[in-house]
Structure 1
Amino acid sequence: MKAVLCSELSGPAALTFADLPAPEPGPGEVVVDVAFAALNFFDTLITAGRYQTKPALPFSPGGEMAGVVAKVGDGVEGVRPGDRVAAYLGYGACREQVVVRAEALTPVPDALPLDKAAGIIITYGTTLHALADRGELKPGETLAVLGASGGVGLAAVEIGKRLGARVIACASSADKLAFARERGADEGVDYAREDLKLRLKELTDGRGVDVVYDPVGGDATEAAVRALAWRGRLLVIGFAAGDIPKLPLNLPMLKGADVRGVFWGAHTEKEPDAHRAELARIFAWAAEGAISAHVDAVLPLSDTADAIGRIARREARGKILVRA
């Protein structure tokens, strides 16, 4: 079995391609032939030892995948060889076969191709939990999405529209904004050229935005908070800019605003029933074509380092996959 291995925490350039013994399922476990593994921004961090999850070395990157069940272990019910499935693993998906607990698998509808299924769980799962649960986004409210052309940003644009919001895409170039508009954004702000706070205020006639979806961090966070409406909500998703911002706390005080953390990984563990219901909703939307589950590029498994590099350089529009 071929596998991509991280044996030292010096970033994706140090990844190696190796042969490993084929895995066998234990009780309650399933072996899946991986068709596609999906990569995310945190793969740039976990391979450098800068993510909150720190697997024992060596490990494979790739937090999610889709494929076909090859073997089932003792005690497994409701899953059979040949079933099309997807799963969130946290890490370890960049290999030809993976072992997964049966209860962690999500069935993939026949109408949904496995490449699209591979990259749905983390970005759309994070986003539905963020907007509907943590953000309490309501129809008619205004949502500003930072980093709107990346994986989670694109998901926020699409799910925000699905939930009935007016969506303002915020990104660092005109072509990225055009891409977000193609996916449903109503307005756009180029924060590489425009003042983010002023433009968000202008686009809301001075009222401000109700919800900010922020996977970027850095300087953009404070500017977006200054553009919040009364009782607005900042959703802290991540820090793709590299800097964790330090907010002046008088800003949320003066606006009666909330700063709400979104830790989707913990949500999946602590609230599994809600997580499963969210995934069922997302996979149904994807099968119907109501969300795009857009795949930007598919690379060979051996090119995993290059795939992660594209994400680090912010070249991805939607998901980057590797084919096992």
Structure 2
Amino acid sequence: MTQQTQVVVIGGGQSGLAAGYHLRRLGVDFVVLDAQSTPGGAWQHTWDSLRLFSPAAYSSLPGRLMPPQPGEAYPGAQHVVDYLADYEKRYELPIQHGVRAHAVHRDGAFLRVETDNGSWRARAVISATGTWSRPFLPTVPGRSVFQGVQLHTVEYRNPQEFAGRRVVVVGGGNSGAQIAADLAYDTELTWATQREPRFLADDIDGRVLFDVATARRRALDEGSSDAGGVASLGDIVAVPPVRQARDAGLLKWSPMFARLTRHGVAWADGTTAEADAVIWCTGFRPVLSHLAPLGLRGPRGHVPTAGTRAVGEPRLHLLGYGDWTGPASATLIGVGRPARDAAREISALLASGH
């Protein structure tokens, strides 16, 4: 069965909700297809102790401030899930949960979205599938011979299952730091990073990072030199659990090891460490396989865009994958502006009749 609407939004997490909010305000007919069976996007699958980088009021989607979480300066993942579920309900967004889009095709004046529950024809599509379901694992010698447990960030939940064990956490970003801090008290921890971890000043959080990312994009658009943006400040936001473990001297880092062995890891100088588990906090890649039929992929697996609009297919917009689809667009506070811009462009496209 094929259904028809003006716009199909693929993905019902924070980016899809922000897009839906703005499309609704513009009076556009749309549907949101979400592979998740319940509201909350990827936030419902994170580790237990995850904390946002910003206070609730600075972690909000357009139109609705996130309420503070009692007793927490930086809200946890479940608080975000509850907020997103409330947001979806408050704005009566037309979301179909448990529907996975697997291909987008050109179909004359339409784009056709094939799903595991029929297909949709639309004048425009917003892809907002994020990155969580495509974890990245680096190529490291010996990964296949290591006899311990290997997990990616997406599979880690809490430190209880690792208590008293030897654990290697790989990655010097926010996920690596938060998970290393989580494990620092009850495990024999090795925290391996490509370079010395760079903590942002304790008074810097997501509010500042959003402002810096926005200012950098504005400067680049105006032809100014690149001052480095967020990357120039550091890599790790010192949320309270990270700060506490760091200040207690428990977040000692090691250079990245050269290979895994059967029972641990080994560095190029011959130093070794035994390990029962390795947790790879090594990031993600954009989930874009559903766009493969359009033939738009460019360098580094990205789809070239002008703002959020795909250069090679003006009826397609990409939202929330990173700075290449809008400054800080992969964050709660940052996705609102590019979502608004995408909705406005699509509304103009529909009005033009093209």
**Higher relative contact order (Cα pairs below 8 Å, separated by 6+ residues):** 2
Higher-Rg structure is 2
TM-score by length of structure 2 reads 0.24
TM-score by length of structure 1 reads 0.25
